[in-house]
Structure 1
Amino acid sequence: MTLAIQIVQFVLIISILVILHEMGHFLPAKYFKTKVEKFYLFFDVKFSLFKKKIGDTEYGIGWLPLGGYVKISGMIDESMDTEQMKQEPQPWEFRSKPAWQRLIIMTGGVIVNFLLAWVIYTMLLFNNGDTYIPSDNLKYGILVDSIGEQLGLRTGDQILQVDDKKTRKFNQAVLDIILGDEVTVKRDGQEITVPLSDEGKETVFATQGKNFLGYRSKAVISKVIDTSAAKRAGIMAGDEIVAINGSPVTFWDEFTTIIKSSPSKQLSLEVKRDGSLETIPLTVPKEGKIGVYPDIEDLWVTDDYGFFEAIPAGYKRTIQVLTDQIRQFKVIFNTKTGAYKQVKGPIGIVEMMPVTWDWTFFWSFMAMFSVWLAFLNILPIPALDGGHVMFLLYEIISGRKPSEKVLETGQIIGFVILMGLMLVVFGNDIWNIVKRFL
């Protein structure tokens, strides 16, 4: 049942995005009186699941859920239907329209994707506000594991800026560190700049960034499990651990490190309770866990937005997401980071979906993916919208149309590039599944 929910969420998100993207091509094409032969959700290779012709256009649903398309008369596209191009141009064909109209038709899908993300982020900010941890709230600094240390960070560092950008939000700083080149931190009272190693990033991507960076908290206990060793020893919620076997303890990570490294040993804990100090003997179970939870400070804040305030904030969020995705390409194409191995296809994306229906995640993911589709489609690769735009801009600037032979060759090259990328993406998905059983 949980897998079904994940699949339904993914298919619904992709379906909405594809339909709206193709509407971005379809509507201006119809407005400029250009004949649209097909409008399809998903690809109808050999056959379709559903089709119905209304007017000049066949509307349908294909069986291959890798996108969708509109087939516009008189246009060299991924269908490679060159027979029509041998005929004399007709007034209703794409090739007969002025270059500026063709440019609007080709950029329509990308524009719709961008505007959709803007609208969704605006409404999310208006309804939910913006919840984050201000970097200034981390008065005890960050907490890193061995992966964070491999990047060059240390527990207790206070992040000041990544590259040349001041870190206002801690959760944004985590992404900035993965995508950045260097981080400036305050360490032992001094400001130092740490280069972020490619080897460290490779490990981050290999583990999908789990828990490599968090924030430090005091060694204060919020909850004690009833059947735990801590409960039997007399430890109570609200206790602050100040020393173990006479050695001072300040932070939760110091406390847990000692506990984990002392299985089956007896320790003497000095705790502060109601303003006074008490000594508690404790025998650590062999699994190195005593059954307590930390008292995590409420560091999160929420900025609320009125409707008209949310509009520019939604635009800013959309631009930020787009900027982050462009920066990701730099990391992906750096083979030293191994980030290309973590690029996910449909199978990997389905696994990212929550196992219960979550509307906030649904709309947030749709907005993010809409920006991603806009960015990918505008890349100047033949067979993508950006490839068509590239040739159109050449025509507008030079005053000459590229020959049909050039356009056909470009489509073939672009198709080969896209198929190669799809093989890498699906290969990653399949390999990640196989690894679980090795």
Structure 2
Amino acid sequence: MKRISSRIAAIAESATLAVDAKAKMMKEAGRPVVLFGAGEPDFPTPGYIVEAARQACGAPRFHRYTASAGLPELREAIAAKTLRDSGYRVDSQQVLVTNGGKQAVCEAFATLLNPGDEAIIIAPYWTTYPEAIKLAGGVPVEVTTDEGTGYLADVAQLEAARTSRTKLLVFVSPSNPTGAVYPREQVVEIGRWAVHHGIWVVTDEIYEHLTYGDTEFTSIVTAVPELADQSIVLNGVAKTYAMTGWRVGWLIGPRDVVKAATNLQSHATSNVCNVAQAAALAAVSGDLSAVAEMRTAFDRRRQTIVRMLNEIPGVVCPEPRGAFYAYPSVRGILGRELRGRCPSTSAELADLVLTEAEVAVVPGEAFGTPGYFRFSYALADDDLVDGVQRITKLFAEAQ
């Protein structure tokens, strides 16, 4: 008899967290590793949010179980924040507070998918989506994009992937791992396509505040209001407020879907940590001045890393319009001799870069598109420059 169930054994480890863990172990051992791996802002959580958590620690109310769906005042605040930031009007009963954005992702798929249902995901995709779909019994169906289209999928590609078993589309803009942002007209086209075919849209909006230049975020549910009854919006405080470790996310959807997901959560984790919820309440209720400061820094780093990467022969990096990731093609380096090795895949090349240059990047295999690297530029400016310079020097040796 197998010790591990087939369902769990089929799940792949999070590649981004695996790279981050290995790199941090090297760093703790005294090696000067530059970390481009995990998507995590390098800023501290704003002080007013931390203070709200401190006060919550002393409140006896938060020493006890609270509602599985979330603190009532936080659910109300999330509904208000959603209207403020994306123009989407919902009530608090349509909000479920989760233990980070990943739990929202997993519960959305678990609530919607039956065994054999197909879920379209656009590659490059965040590494968790296909694993969470499979865990829910669904079948991920990939639509692949590349740098030639700015990593944007069109309706024709989605239609080619649609079958009688298609239940949902995972739509992400701004995107992890590419930083791609869909223009409004394309968002409308995709939303109307989903409405026409009765396809659910699970839209991840966690990078909604991180767009640059004249690029604007468009919520697909706001752009296509008739989609509201067949959509789930995922979000959280992690990226916008530098709160990755606080573990507070949420999903928004029709009341019956939210109630079903709440039932699941009541058995999985009960309520989210009350102190973290109090911190999230301060975050979503406050202004966005701290967010604006972080965005300014990310934009500066974005411009630097794109320029430096495109100066490396064999590397092609489209300009990311949102989030804090660059996703260059490194196919021009593959198959060439480098430090006595001849990496034929981006995974092998990433391992060589970590070993020889002491720079951690995530290979494209993790995101469904071999031949690429993902760089998170949410790190200090000097570290960013140093890390890319090390890669530049290493790749110059390729023969």
Tell me the TM-score range normalised by the shorter chain: under 0.3
Normalised by the length of structure 2, the TM-score is 0.20
The structure with higher relative contact order (CA 8 Å, sep 6+) is 2
Richer in strand (by share): 1
Normalised by the length of structure 1, the TM-score is 0.19
